[in-house]
């Protein structure tokens, strides 16, 4: 029987099917109906794997919305992210996940088991939501945070709090500050938050950077510079939680 892992995140619902020989991935916005988004994601991976009945897969659900979805098993996102990141980058000793609404650091052993973790889910600063809100004020897209030209001077952003940082950005724009420089300053503040979180939990080993924000390679580079550690950004970084749920031993 194939395993399906579903990670119902605050922003995106990720789904991975593992049939023992191949992985099938699907991502959809979580939107206002998380259970429906998750149901759609399961349907889509099954269809792509030519599996006709939902009963023919073992489903493990994780993430922020895990309690509202019918599945064979529920597992915490910390456990799933650790397992998924270990699969994506077995050499990493630490997982840094920056998603839509929270960020977390997980220290793992050589089997991907959780040793320790720390989570910031109380404040939007340092998360994807922070960058999304700022993009609105800057009239730019998330992708623009990934394409800041080399050599752009950094405009420091002094406020860590999302609300105050928004006012600061509006003030800087009114003074004619360069947009790319502001974007770089905002990324730098996310990187600094991540570095602070990392310094509280982890060792000196390699970091597997997961979550949607790991798609920003510039952010990964800034975290590398601040921590002096190697930051690995696997291609399927956003799927780490769902992948971990899919590869975990199924409970039949």
φ/ψ of residue 15, rounded to 5 = -140, 135
Contact 198, 209 (CB under 8 A): no
Q: How many residues would you count in the chain?
A: 252
Taking the least distance from each CB to ligand ADP, the nearer of 51 and 96 is: 96
- The CA distances from residue 234 to 28, 144, 239, in Å, are 19, 21, 10
Contact 148, 180 (CB under 8 A): yes
β-sheet bridge partners, residue 58: 3
Minimal CB distance residue for ligand ADP: 212
Taking the least distance from each CB to ligand ADP, the nearer of 142 and 177 is: 142
Question: Which residues are CB-neighbours of 228 under 8 A, at least 6 positions away?
Answer: none
x-marked contacts with ligand ADP along 134-153 as a string, rule CB under 6 A: --------xx--x-------
In whole angstroms, the minimum distance from the beta carbon of 64 to ligand ADP comes to 6
Stretch binding ligand ADP (CB under 6 A), from 45-53, 78-86, 127-135, 197-205: 127-135
Task: Establish if 126 lies at the interface with ligand ADP (CB under 6 A).
Answer: no
Using only the alpha carbons of the chain, give its radius of gyration.
19
In whole angstroms, the minimum distance from the beta carbon of 146 to ligand ADP comes to 5
Task: Establish if 211 lies at the interface with ligand ADP (CB under 6 A).
Answer: yes
How many other CB atoms sit within 10 Å of the CB of residue 181? 16
d(CA 179, CA 185): 10
Task: Establish if 216 lies at the interface with ligand ADP (CB under 6 A).
Answer: yes
Q: Which of 37, 215, 227, 233 binds ligand ADP (CB under 6 A)?
A: 215
φ/ψ of residue 231, rounded to 5 = -115, 115
- Residues that bind ligand ADP (rule: CB under 6 A) add up to a total of 20
Task: Establish if 131 lies at the interface with ligand ADP (CB under 6 A).
Answer: yes
Task: Establish if 6 lies at the interface with ligand ADP (CB under 6 A).
Answer: no
Q: Which residues bind ligand ADP (CB under 6 A)?
A: 9-12, 99-101, 128-129, 131-132, 142-143, 146, 211-213, 215-216, 238
């Amino acid at each position: 029987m194939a395993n399906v892992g579903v990670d119902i995140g605050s922003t995106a619902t990720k789904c991975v099917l593992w049939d023992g020989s191949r992985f099938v991935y699907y991502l959809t916005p979580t939107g206002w109906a998380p259970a429906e988004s998750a149901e759609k994601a399961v349907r889509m991976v099954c269809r792509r794997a030519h599996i006709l009945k939902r009963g023919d897969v073992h489903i493990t659900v994780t993430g922020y919305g895990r309690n509202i979805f019918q599945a064979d098993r529920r597992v915490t996102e910390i456990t799933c992210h650790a397992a998924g990141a270990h699969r994506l980058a077995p050499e990493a000793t630490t997982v840094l996940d920056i998603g839509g609404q929270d960020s977390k650091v997980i220290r793992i052993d050589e089997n991907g088991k959780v040793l320790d973790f720390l989570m910031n889910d109380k404040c939007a600063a340092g998360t994807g939501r922070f960058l999304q809100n700022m993009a609105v004020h800057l009239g730019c897209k998330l992708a623009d945070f990934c394409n800041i030209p080399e050599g752009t001077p950094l405009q420091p952003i002094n406020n860590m709090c999302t609300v105050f940082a928004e006012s600061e950005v509006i003030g800087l724009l009114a003074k004619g500050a360069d947009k790319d420089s502001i974007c770089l300053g905002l990324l730098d503040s996310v990187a600094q938050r991540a570095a602070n979180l990392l310094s509280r939990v982890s060792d000196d080993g390699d970091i597997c950077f997961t979550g949607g924000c790991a798609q920003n390679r510039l952010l990964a580079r800034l975290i590398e510079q601040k921590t002096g550690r190697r930051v690995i950004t696997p291609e399927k970084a956003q799927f780490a939680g769902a992948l971990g749920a899919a590869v975990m031993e199924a409970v039949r």
